[in-house]
Amino acid sequence: MNDWMMLVSIVLFAALLQTSTGYGFSIIGTPFLFLLYPAHSAIQINIILSLCISVFMIYKIRHEIDTILLGRLIRGSLIGLIPGIMIYLYVDVALLKMVVGALICISTILLILKLTIAQTKKKDYATGAISGLLTTSIGIPGPPLLLYFAGVGTKKETLRSTTLAYYLFIYLISLIMQVCFAGTNKEIWLSSLITLPALFAGILLGQLLFKKISQRIFQILTYVILLFTGLYLLTTSL
């Protein structure tokens, strides 16, 4: 019973964060799901629920999407999907988590110190490729997008809508690939189904919160979440 309550609480908070900022479900949800489920099950539950959020939100935010950037991210992600699923199946995930965690922490510190990034077509594609690799390998596509968007100074409305639209594609493809290559089980789908009411409650609360968040608060939240993710990945890989 306590595990179910913890699961519902995790999903509610992560969905609220995802809907109000455009990121956060995987970044916050996945680490705590690892406490309740084996790694591969936690990753699939995260992908299923994140996909539900994007499906629910896509119509509402469709007019704010940067379609050119979205197209580049999607095409770039195709490069990283296959290497990512190979890592998911055959490579020690702890090693990948350690490397990614260290890179996130270093990059976030540089952003806090006001490092800026010039947005280019090649960097859009590269960000998508890294995100695609991380989605199929550990189920966390957000950090490359956050680091890149924070560095180029993307507006919060564009960031939220474009990332949610991107997640709709990347999570669907990743889920199909994981089910085909690694299989799935009843517990994964039952756990996802049970948490849907909490997920929708988090979505509704997150939409209300989004209207009250200034660009400055949005930026601070980004740095906090990135540092949390980096430190989590580092500590759990040791």
pLDDT of residue 73 exceeding 60: yes
- Quick: pLDDT tens for 181-224: 888 999 999 999 999 999 989 888 888 877 777 767 777 777 78
- Quick: pLDDT tens for 79-127: 999 898 888 888 776 777 787 788 778 877 877 877 778 889 999 999 9
Percent of the chain with pLDDT over 90: 19
So what's the pLDDT on residue 71? 95
So what's the pLDDT on residue 193? 92
DSSP one-letter string for the chain: -HHHHHHHHHHHHHHHHHHHHS--IIIIIHHHHHHHS-HHHHHHHHHHHHHHHHHHHHHHHGGG--HHHHHHHHHHHHHHHHHHHHHHHHS-HHHHHHHHHHHHHHHHHHHHTT------HHHHHHHHHHHHHHHHHHS--HHHHHHHHHHHT--HHHHHHHHHHHHHHHHHHHHHHHHHHH---HHHHHHHHHTHHHHHHHHHHHHHHHTT--HHHHHHHHHHHHHHHHHHHHHHH-
Which is more confident, 180 or 212?
180
Q: How confident is the model at residue 75 (pLDDT cuts 50, 70, 90)?
A: very high
